[in-house]
Amino acid sequence: RGAWRACRLPPPTGQIVGNRIADLFFGFYSNQAEDVAIVGNLFTDNVVYGVDPHDYSRNLVVARNVTQGARFKHGIIFSRGVRDSWVVQNLSIANAGSGVMMDRASTHNLVAKNLVVGNGGDGIAVFESDDNLLRGNEVRRNVRNGVLVRNSAGVQVLENTLARNGRSGLEISSADISGLETRDFALDPYRQHATASVRGNLFDDNVRSAVSAVAVDALTLDGNRYIASGPLYF
């Protein structure tokens, strides 16, 4: 065991810039990677995900990519302990699931200035992932919510445009997911809690409501504008 530890390689890293990545099972996947730059690529028509950093990857830059047409799930997803990373100025469009997702304790990430349009799930989803910042995104015409926050605390939703989404502009909730998710809850534990600060956003013509909040611990709404978006549900 000591010899194995002595021979351990450093975390994988690299730069993926200016490629067309199409018709793969996952467009991009990582495990325990660090300092990876994924910039200016077209991820199109991949089977499950476009971009899928996974398992404790950190210090990633995912910027100025197009992720479109993922056939089964999400355009961009961070899952299981992916942290301290940036998702900036991407176009995530027409994926079967969500446009952008933070999942399974993916914390301290910035999701900013992305255009997230016409996805089959939510525009941006934050599942069981605390302390993420969503800022200045355009989130339009997604089938479900513009932004969905579930079982996550300390989420900041600032200065986004959430327009013409099929349910709410923003839905935030705490929920028992033990019967909903197929996962190892010893490996991926979670708490039923939800807190968010929602400031300076534009909610425009979302179908069900501007904001829906269910069993939240704390929610701050400040300086938002509401245009033809229906009432707030609590």
Strand partners, 213: 172
Task: Say whether 54 is catalytic.
Answer: yes
- Choosing from 54, 74, 108, 193, the catalytic residue is 54
CA distance 207 to 229: 7
**Known catalytic residues?**
54
